[in-house]
């Protein structure tokens, strides 16, 4: 799954990387959490834009927007069939820029050790996302969910799921405005190569949603021996 991530990459770097036509101001964040606003890349009329949406997808038909807190992730294997995500999977796809995501190692008798998981080259990346628009009277809420897949060999001992990291050569297809059949898109949504990722042990400072800043990603020695050395 993906329940917390970071995006501290400068906006001008994101503009070049994603070939953006427009980029809304974004705040440097090291501890993005569900129900908070975060940056996504969408394509409208062939123009890519960086925009802020709320994390936790609220389907257009929902009675209560609080459902979004339970829909922060969508399983890539079943999203095209689930009522909450099916229409967005066909018609409203986005990229979720990040430079790292968090996962926790733990078990019986062990303290939970957080890891910041990033590319080995330190470059930002794109997670596959879906978005939707919910409206009630004058209130309009645009929100998104991050697609997950089975964990690769590097992460499997940490968690059985991981976010889908899309390579640049499929971004255009993923963002295409035309409706797409699941069989065209599902093959794009597997785990990334294990050698692409580095696991950085960090302190439990990141555990608290309200904590922010570079302290969240500072490397530290695990309190207990780790599966990851």
Measured distance CA(97)–CA(10) in Å, rounded: 11
- Of 176, 219, 217, 178, the C-alpha closest to 9 is 217
Measured distance CA(140)–CA(119) in Å, rounded: 35
The DSSP H or E segment spanning 41 is strand 37-44
Measured distance CA(1)–CA(10) in Å, rounded: 26
Q: Catalytic site residue 218?
A: no
Q: Catalytic site residue 103?
A: yes
* 125 burial type by CB count under 10 A (0-12 exposed, 13-18 middle, 19+ buried): buried
Active-site option among 103, 105, 142, 216: 103
Q: Rg of the chain over CA atoms, in angstroms?
A: 17
Q: Which residues are catalytic?
A: 2, 103
């Amino acid at each position: 799954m993906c329940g917390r991530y970071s995006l501290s990459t400068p906006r001008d770097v994101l503009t070049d990387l994603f070939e953006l036509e427009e980029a809304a101001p974004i705040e440097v964040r090291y501890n993005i959490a569900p129900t908070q606003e975060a940056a996504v890349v969408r394509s409208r009329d062939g123009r890519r834009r960086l925009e802020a949406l709320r994390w936790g997808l609220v389907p257009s038909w929902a009675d209560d927007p609080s459902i979004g807190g339970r829909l922060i992730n969508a399983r890539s294997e079943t999203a095209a069939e689930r009522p909450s995500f099916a229409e967005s999977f066909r018609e409203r796809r986005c990229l979720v820029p990040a430079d790292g995501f968090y996962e926790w190692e733990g078990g019986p008798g062990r303290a939970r050790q957080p890891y910041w998981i990033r590319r080995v080259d330190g470059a930002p990346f794109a997670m596959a996302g879906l978005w939707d628009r919910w409206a009630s009277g004058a209130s309009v809420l645009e929100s998104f969910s991050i697609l997950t897949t089975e964990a690769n060999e590097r992460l499997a001992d940490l968690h059985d799921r991981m976010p889908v990291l899309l390579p640049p050569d499929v971004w255009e297809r993923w963002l295409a405005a035309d409706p797409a059949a699941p069989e065209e898109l599902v093959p794009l949504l597997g785990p990334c190569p294990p050698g692409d990722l580095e696991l950085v042990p960090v302190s439990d400072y990141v555990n608290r949603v309200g904590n922010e800043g570079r302290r969240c990603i500072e490397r530290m020695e695990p309190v207990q021996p780790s599966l990851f050395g």
